[in-house]
Amino acid sequence: MISEESELSIRPAQARDFAGIWPIFRAVVAAGDAYAYAPETSMAEARRLWMEPPAVPFVAVQDGRIVGTYALRPNQPGLGDHVGNCGYMTHPDARGRGVGGAMCAHSLVAARERGYTALQFNFVVASNETAVRLWQRHGFAVVGRVPGAFRHRLLGPIDVLIMHRAL
């Protein structure tokens, strides 16, 4: 977990932060083991997905370097827009240091501040057990399981979990 001396700070992302977000997005998506985004997603498309409304992007900064990022958005339009959705990405070099957990905790507060009454993850790859356990520790429950909905680069078709927590 992040301790105070690790100097991890999480804040809303500015347009210029995309320079630090893009390498993370590219590496995470290229791995083909956690996100549906096509491994070859272009920089322009990544910017649109992560930085443009309705997405609200955040960055986790440590020692002046962006080590993680998350984007918060309504999970549905209109009559479903009280439920938020988040995607989190940690730089491959910064894994195992609690960055994901710190971003998740931050996102719960950020979502509440923006009026969301729940968060829903639509696409938690079941083989990504570290993530599943992390979200569970942060109060998320598995509310659905879709068989074979993800084509994992190494493992082939993998179930996808839907996770949810009230805020």
Interacting residues toward its own copies by CB under 8 A: 29, 32, 35-39, 41, 75-83, 117-118, 120, 122-123, 143-153, 160, 162, 164, 166
CB of 72 to its own copies, least distance (A): 16
Q: Which is nearer to its own copies, 18 or 37 (CB)?
A: 37
Q: Which is nearer to its own copies, 109 or 141 (CB)?
A: 141
Q: What phi and psi values does residue 3 have, to the nearest 5 degrees?
A: -105, 170
CB of 34 to its own copies, least distance (A): 9
Q: Which is nearer to its own copies, 43 or 146 (CB)?
A: 146
CB of 146 to its own copies, least distance (A): 5
Token pair for residue 106?
């931050």
Q: Which is nearer to its own copies, 12 or 80 (CB)?
A: 80
Name, in order, each residue with C-beta under 8 angstroms of 83's C-beta and a sequence gap of 6 or more. Answer: 74, 75, 76, 116, 117, 118, 119, 120
CB of 143 to its own copies, least distance (A): 5
CB of 144 to its own copies, least distance (A): 2
Q: Which is nearer to its own copies, 137 or 153 (CB)?
A: 153
User: Is the distance from CB of 141 to CB of 164 less than 8 angstroms?
Assistant: yes
